Structure 1
Amino acid sequence: MVELSTRISQIQASPTLAISAEAKRLKEEGRDIIGLGAGEPDFETPQHVKQAGIEAIQEGFTTYTATVGIKKLQGAVCTRFKEDKGLEYQTDQVIISTGAKQSLFNALQAIINPGDEVILPVPYWVSYPEQIKFAGGRPVKVKTAEEDGFKLTAQQLKEAITPQTKAIIINSPNNPTGAVYTKQELVELAEVIVEEDILVIADEIYQKISYEQDAISIAALGPKIKERTVVIDGVSKAYAMTGWRIGYAVGPQEIIAAMGRLQSHSTSNANSIAQRASIAALLGTQEPTLEMKEAFDQRREIIIEGLNQISGLKAIKPAGAFYLFVNITGLVGKTIAGQEVTDDQKLAELLLQEAGVATIPGSAFGQPGYLRLSYAASEEQITEAIKRINSLLNN
């Protein structure tokens, strides 16, 4: 029997991808499944972006590029960061990767030494703890409260910091809760971060999908916090380009350079055609993104109203992204479809098998007793899913 490395043996498979795969399998068997599990916009990539990709192919732009990305795309990232986030960077502070997930992976590999601690507000995106562990670090999970909007407080951060603390991951707008930190909340966190001299990984992949207010980058709060922050972003969510696999990291030049060295020995450059398409996304009209956000906003109203009328379910209104984090503790112990709801995972299983609705259990995000539902689905699908959920839970 082959003995696997200790490092890989402690890494768990992505539960969100596993549930999405199961939903897809049931669909292929002929089941009528409504997918509210995937974190993927259900919109087409904008036409002008597709056209840029086609032109790249036709022009023969299909060879290797610089490992860190083509200069024009790095410049486009700088332009968007200045216009959208109020942040100024040079191109040597930008790396283009195969998706924001790789940018995050590279950043953690570049800054974490064995035994370093990384503070992780709970609930968290499923890949954070696994990537921290793969880098040799230890995730320090700090549970946030629903009554605080699932947002880490400055006091919680201060209490979690030890001599081994190297960094904190801040994800705003948040996956899975949709929470968006206010400027004042970020200012308070930044004061602790600067005082304690730790680093920040700011995952801002959903920043252009924020409803009541524009999401703010913590790096924009001043030079001291900026020099400690690596911002992770990409085109997947804001431009409906998940399959194009283009993400980027922006931050201190020495960290970005280290990430580039790692990338040169792993994936090399990101896809050349997708890089050209991403330039069109970033520098072209932003109207498709705004239209997509408006559609998500309408769907947000439908799903929050519908689910909060179902006995046993309770959710606070998300301020960003396209997820609803639903408290299901009122259903634990009840019998549904002849089976006891022992936990959130059991309820997710029942919803998929009995109602044909795919969701993600909150335990996958470190928060048992909840379900994450994506409203990156049509209004018709969301309405039908609410009916199915209500029918299953109230029969």
Structure 2
Amino acid sequence: MGRHPLGGDRSVRLVSGHAVWEVLGPAVAGRTDVVAAVPSVGADADRLLPLGRGCTLVVNASPEALQRGTTDPGVLVRWQRAGVQIHSLATLNATLVLASGTDPFLATGSADAAPRSAPRMFEAALITDLPEVLEDARQAFAALLALAGDPLTGAQLLELENRYATEPAPRPRAATVVPSETRAPVTRDVRPAAERPSVERAAGAAGGAAGTPADAGSGQSPEVELDAQPVELPWPRPRTVYLLGWTGPAPVSERARERLAEWESDLGLRASPGGVPTVEGRFALFPVCITENLGSDRPFGLPVPTGAHVVLVTTPAKSAPRPSAQVESPARVMGSWVDEAAYPRQKYYFLVGRHHAPRRTLRDVNAALQPLGAKASFLQAYMTSDKVQAMLDLWPGAEYDA
């Protein structure tokens, strides 16, 4: 977890001068719950803003910004390879950094992530952890991400780098250990899968047994011992909830299986072979696959940002869900990935959740929201505290971090 930028008992702080990123950089380092919007990112911007797996970034990657050099495509490629979801919005003109989960904070101000100008520009950033301001920021990011649409793929970013890069991108830095208060630190191995110590690839949601450690006699040892004991992870209380339709466990492509195995290694969790958590109160990692709706302006439905929570609704293929459709207790989105090689394309959300009784249906969700003048919808995010609480109350046994 990064160093909190407020310190002490302050709820608001103004950082100014030449040291804005010297405060914000360490504050986000190692976190997996950061959503940021930065309209200008120069070469080596990832040194100022060290985002990694589980984080989301909105930038201006329009042709005009790339041609002007206000956005460096090489750094976008490196961020994406580090596990950051990159979105582009040509009309972006705000710098916002929001960290959720444990020790949340918001930073907003004038600073661009431009290392060459940072030492000579006088910048300012207001930093706060006031709950009402954090809620406003979450709603602002939900609107930003809805405008930006799906994240840029690795292939798209490489194409931008090849077309607009003005200098060779520096070699990626070695992966860092992400500290955690609740489990042993895990080092992300960035080598190709074939060169890593043997950890059997996860078989996916319905493709067979989950990954197992290498044979002890092979002379190789896995990076982590997967799920040998119940794993405890930071489990923030949901602040934004989406309803996400799915058809249930489905075969996972080999390419997606490799990414699932990376998440297993990072989190120390086995992928749930049943597709959703089945053991009461115990964490499980599982993928949800959304097949592209060809010809739609939102081919994968409403985009769900990293860090948000989803309530899965069992939905028959190509038809509306029934009132009796089963719904699962909230799961947290750790990241997403689009399989560009599939046709139609497939978008995978990698979720972590815990099973909680009782079993609920879509009818229960509607009954909980109706007194608030709302109803179940796949086309909106539920961000107000009363609607989120109404859904959380469906699973009274669920426990979250403060």
Q: What's the TM-score, normalizing by structure 1? A: 0.26
> Counting helix residues as a fraction of each chain, which structure ranks higher?
1
> Counting strand residues as a fraction of each chain, which structure ranks higher?
2
Higher relative contact order (CA 8 A, sep 6+): 1
Q: What's the TM-score, normalizing by structure 2? A: 0.25
